[in-house]
Amino acid sequence: MLLSVQWLSDKILPWLRPPTQSPFRTVFYGIILGISLSLSSSSAISYYRTRREEEETLQFEPRPIELRSDEVLSGVTGLIGNTPLIRINSLSNALGVEIYGKAEFLNPGGSVKDRVALRMIEDAEAQGLLRPHTGSRIFEGTVGSTGISIATIARARGYDATIIMPDDVAQEKVKALLALGAEVERVRPASIVDKKQYVNLAKERAISFGKLLPSSKPHLLPTPSSSVVVSTISDETVDQDVESEIPDYRPYKPRGFFADQFENRSNHDAHFEGTGPEIWRQVNGHLHAFVSGAGTGGTIAGIGRFVKSKNEAVQVVLADPEGSGLYNKVKYGVMFDYKESEGKKRRHQVDTVVEGIGINRITNNIDLALPIIDEAYRITDAEAVSMSRYLVKHDGLFLGSSSACNLVASVKLAQKMGWKEGQVIVTILCDSGTRHYSKFWNDEYLQNVGIPNDITIIEELLAQITE
């Protein structure tokens, strides 16, 4: 032992002693100090980064929407957006995964479509296609929610509205449109290739609007977002210098404007520039998956593309109802539903009690969504009904059919991924159940179409996951 210590003292320690000459001694101490500082700073940075991530995970809570007592909003459109993100307590507690819903049913028009309607009208005004208080009319083909949003904003901005819709949608939507002063035309459900399909009819009505007055000349104005149909009683250019806020200023001719939510890029932009950033701020960037259904495709495309731009690892997941072809398009690359096979095809393309989502064609907005969708789940009518009743019983949430589909898909995603505590899934709570009394929330109707009205399906699904 003494030999070893002596050997270390004689052979090793001399190399660790600083040089006797002053310049070399300074360099030696500088090297030692530099290495020490580098190691200590790296360790400190690593420590504080880990500590910050842990604090964000443990301390993050969804914040309620904050209203200042001195804040005055500009009319009904000022209420659109900035909706709160709410924790779905029953599902989050059962799964150990944080499931949050963007409460879009709190928009003044009652749905997520308020954002889209406002953006489409604002973009049309910016392009000179619409001018308030000139007798202009907005036309749209919709199953209800977008029509209600357009009718609401049209009244606030000085326009009339004509809504073309299938005659099998819930009666509550028709009553809301009529109460808002919209002109409503109901038609039989049909394929998009049929001239009498509700979207095609809305386009035709917009083109025909100018023909109702003498010397009319309807025309098609191409825009950067889509080919938007605008008809006027003349082809005079709108003078952009005169104030548009003057009520009933008549030198401007009435125009018929086809909003075209399915193909209009404004649909996507409303969510890419609005809803997506709101969600990202509300979760402090701590997001693992975004789940949404698709009707026009604008919501899943806009929000999905935004969250992907912030973090490519975020999963974008489609919730697709029965009869829609999008599930097969995502999973197998073919726009086809098994119910369309020979001997199984039903009367309507998307034959389901779920309204607002599901489609069998590729729109411009869906085309933007397809490259960024990572996973898709087929949601049955029975699953959607069961989820809606489960949420009422356990959370007091009274939601519509598309919201229920979104939450079923969120549960299935958590099951498949095996996610546990700390993982965050965000979805859209599109509208409330008040628009669905006559179908989705009608026990007699559900019994007639053979759909069970209880919470058993969701209880069994949750039990399988938590076993």
pLDDT at 285 over 90: yes
What would the two tokens of residue 373 be? 């969708």
Query: Per residue in 65-120, pLDDT tens?
Result: 555 556 788 899 999 999 999 999 999 999 999 999 999 999 999 999 999 999 99
Residue type, 414: A
Closest CA to 233 of 248, 249, 211: 211
pLDDT at 292 over 80: yes
Edge-to-edge strands, sheet with 219-222:
183-187, 160-166, 137-141, 255-258, 227-232, 219-222
Tell me what percent of the residues of the chain surpass a pLDDT of 70: 72
Instruction: Give me the pLDDT at residue 231, please.
Output: 55
Confidence of residue 248 (pLDDT cuts 50, 70, 90): very low
Query: Per residue in 364-377, pLDDT tens?
Result: 999 999 999 999 99
Shared-domain flag, residues 372 and 426: yes
Shared-domain flag, residues 237 and 336: no
What would the two tokens of residue 463 be? 């039990």
Pick from 240, 265, 290: which residue ends a domain? 265
Instruction: Give me the pLDDT at residue 352, please.
Output: 82
Average pLDDT over every residue of 213-222: 41
Shared-domain flag, residues 315 and 366: yes
Q: Is 48 domain-assigned?
A: no
* Structural domain that includes position 176: 113-265
Instruction: Give me the pLDDT at residue 348, please.
Output: 46
Q: Is 53 domain-assigned?
A: no
Higher pLDDT, 450 or 15: 450
Q: Which residues of 178-194 are buried (b: 16+ CB within 10 A; e: fewer)?
A: eebebebbebebbeeee
CA distance 159 to 279: 31
pLDDT at 240 over 50: no
Instruction: Give me the pLDDT at residue 336, please.
Output: 72
pLDDT at 309 over 70: yes
Shared-domain flag, residues 297 and 309: yes
CA distance 116 to 23: 72
Contacts of 117 (CB under 8 A, 6+ apart): 109, 146, 149, 150, 152, 153, 259
Instruction: Give me the pLDDT at residue 236, please.
Output: 40
CA 405 to centroid of chain Cα atoms = 13
Shared-domain flag, residues 82 and 231: no
Shared-domain flag, residues 303 and 417: yes
Higher pLDDT, 56 or 203: 203
CA distance 191 to 202: 14
Query: Per residue in 444-460, pLDDT tens?
Result: 999 998 999 999 999 99
Do 387 and 403 meet the contact criterion of CB atoms below 8 Å apart?
no
Shared-domain flag, residues 191 and 305: no
Pick from 265, 291, 314: which residue ends a domain? 265
Shared-domain flag, residues 137 and 253: yes
Shared-domain flag, residues 184 and 288: no
Dihedrals phi, psi of 408, to nearest 5 degrees: -60, -45
Higher pLDDT, 210 or 409: 409
CA distance 331 to 22: 73
Contacts of 367 (CB under 8 A, 6+ apart): 297
Instruction: Give me the pLDDT at residue 209, please.
Output: 87
pLDDT at 330 over 90: yes
What would the two tokens of residue 208 be? 């025909």
Among the residue ranges 37-46, 218-227, 300-309, 433-442, the one predicted with the least confidence is: 218-227
Higher pLDDT, 66 or 438: 438
CA distance 89 to 105: 18
Instruction: Give me the pLDDT at residue 4, please.
Output: 55
Instruction: Give me the pLDDT at residue 14, please.
Output: 55
Shared-domain flag, residues 426 and 288: yes
Instruction: Give me the pLDDT at residue 222, please.
Output: 43
Shared-domain flag, residues 136 and 241: yes
Q: Which H/E stretch holds residue 170?
A: none
Among the residue ranges 32-46, 299-313, 393-407, the one predicted with the least confidence is: 32-46
CA distance 143 to 140: 10
What would the two tokens of residue 61 be? 């809570």
pLDDT at 210 over 60: yes
Closest CA to 101 of 427, 358, 408, 359: 427
What CATH number is attached to the domain comprising 227? 3.40.50.1100
Query: Per residue in 122-136, pLDDT tens?
Result: 999 999 999 999 999
Confidence of residue 6 (pLDDT cuts 50, 70, 90): low
Q: Is 12 domain-assigned?
A: no
What would the two tokens of residue 104 be? 């879009």
Instruction: Give me the pLDDT at residue 224, please.
Output: 41
Q: Is 396 helix (H, G, I), strand (E, B) or coil?
A: coil
Shared-domain flag, residues 254 and 282: no
Looking at residue 271, what DSSP letter applies? I
Q: Is 20 domain-assigned?
A: no
Q: Is 71 domain-assigned?
A: no
Instruction: Give me the pLDDT at residue 27, please.
Output: 62
Average pLDDT over every residue of 165-181: 92
Q: Is 124 domain-assigned?
A: yes
Instruction: Give me the pLDDT at residue 249, please.
Output: 42
CA distance 72 to 79: 10
Q: Is 3 domain-assigned?
A: no
The total of structural domains in the chain comes to 2
Confidence of residue 144 (pLDDT cuts 50, 70, 90): confident
pLDDT at 359 over 60: yes
CA 206 to centroid of chain Cα atoms = 28
Pick from 250, 265, 280: which residue ends a domain? 265
Confidence of residue 11 (pLDDT cuts 50, 70, 90): low
Looking at every residue in the chain, the average pLDDT score rounds to 82
DSSP letters, 23-34, are HHHHHHHHHHHH
Place of tokens 């957006």: 81
Among the residue ranges 145-159, 249-263, 319-333, 343-357, the one predicted with the least confidence is: 343-357
Most confident segment among 44-53, 206-215, 311-320, 338-347 = 311-320
pLDDT at 15 over 60: no
CA-to-CA separations, 61 to 86, 98, 283, in angstroms, rounded: 10, 10, 8
Q: Is 186 domain-assigned?
A: yes
Confidence of residue 253 (pLDDT cuts 50, 70, 90): confident
